[in-house]
Structures are given as structure tokens and as C-alpha cells.
């Protein structure tokens, strides 16, 4: 499997360990950086990593920063990226199996090395279960991607609020 990976300067050595771990398991790795401890901005590496996944150059992606939050949010801004910030094995399984997540986000300062390896193993080994329900859920998630003009629309979520006010969302 070909894995695109990126990180910020805070966790470079952790990313390097993950790269070696993946290569030792036989995966091809596209290392998007960063490569040192010089202060940088994680959105650059989140975008680079996600772009390789979305373009098909990589099968899946992994992004790591101190908490995982910033780089996960950044990578998810690339249209077609479905980044899951994960801190445990079951969340990794769910993200792949149900939501067809294609990028794994992790916090290098808050997740131990052994747990990170377990999470990666499960994320990479878990296949998406294509069901009508999962496809509808992903379509709903994809449908809420909004452009700059929609951001200013105060009534954008009226339909959803109305459904909630009428008793929530029935099981579909």
C-alpha cells in the first residue's frame, strides 16, 4: 500500500518513526515533511498529504501534529479528503469501516508510540463496508461542504433545524 504522510515540526521524529514502521511492514511511503525541527505551519503538510491521497497518488494518508487537531482540520479542507482524528483502535476501525476515512490524524504528543502503531495497523487493515446506509451518511457529510457565499447564509441550516425541532432524525 502507498501511504502519504505529513507532520509539523513538533513531531518530526515521531513521523520519522512512523515512516520506518510503515516501510518495515512493506508499505511505500510518500514523506511530505516536515523534515526537521524548524518552526513551520502544519496546514502546508496537511494539504500536501491530503492532495496525494485525493489525486490517487497514495492509497491512504497519515497526518500528525502535537494534538493531531490542527493538521487533521487542515488536511480535511482538501476536497475529497475524509480525515479522522483518532486516539484509539476502535475509532480507527469505525472511521475506515463506516465513514470510508482516507486520512488518519493523530496527536504525536498525546498518543504513545505503541498505540499509534496499533491504530495505524487497524486503519490500514480495515476495509470500508459499502452499504446503502454508509453511502447515504457519507453523501450527507459531503453535501455540507460549503463555499464562501454559503458561509454568509444565515438560513443555511434551517432545513436541519426544522427536522430537529420536529423530533430529530428518524432512522433511515
**Nearest Cα to 88, choosing from 66, 53, 117, 63?**
117
Dist CA 2 CA 147 (whole Å)? 31
**Would you tell me the crossing angle of helices 113-125 and 12-24 to the nearest 10 degrees?**
50
Residue positions annotated with a catalytic role:
65
Phi, psi of 45, rounded to the nearest 5 degrees: -80, -30
Find the DSSP H helices in the chain.
12-24, 42-54, 69-75, 89-97, 113-125, 132-143, 148-151, 158-165
Dist CA 131 CA 129 (whole Å)? 6
Dist CA 63 CA 68 (whole Å)? 7
Dist CA 144 CA 120 (whole Å)? 28
Amino acid at each position: 500500500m502507498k501511504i502519504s504522510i505529513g507532520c509539523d515540526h513538533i513531531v518530526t521524529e515521531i513521523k520519522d518513526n512512523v515512516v520506518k514502521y510503515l516501510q518495515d511492514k512493506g508499505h511505500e511511503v510518500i514523506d511530505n515533511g516536515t523534515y526537521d525541527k524548524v518552526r513551520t505551519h502544519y496546514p502546508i503538510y496537511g494539504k500536501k498529504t491530503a492532495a496525494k491521497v485525493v489525486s490517487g497518488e497514495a492509497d491512504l494518508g497519515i497526518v500528525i501534529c502535537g494534538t493531531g487537531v490542527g493538521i487533521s482540520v487542515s488536511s480535511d479542507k482538501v476536497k475529497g479528503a475524509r480525515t479522522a482524528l483518532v486516539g484509539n483502535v476502535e475509532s480507527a476501525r469505525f472511521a475506515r469501516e463506516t465513514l470510508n476515512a482516507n486520512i488518519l490524524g493523530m496527536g504525536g504528543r498525546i498518543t504513545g508510540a505503541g498505540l499509534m502503531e496499533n491504530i495505524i495497523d487497524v486503519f490500514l487493515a480495515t476495509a470500508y463496508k459499502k452499504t446503502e446506509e454508509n453511502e447515504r451518511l457519507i453523501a450527507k457529510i459531503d453535501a455540507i461542504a460549503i463555499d464562501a457565499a454559503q458561509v454568509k447564509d444565515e438560513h443555511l441550516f434551517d432545513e436541519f433545524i426544522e427536522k430537529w425541532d420536529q423530533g430529530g432524525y428518524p432512522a433511515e
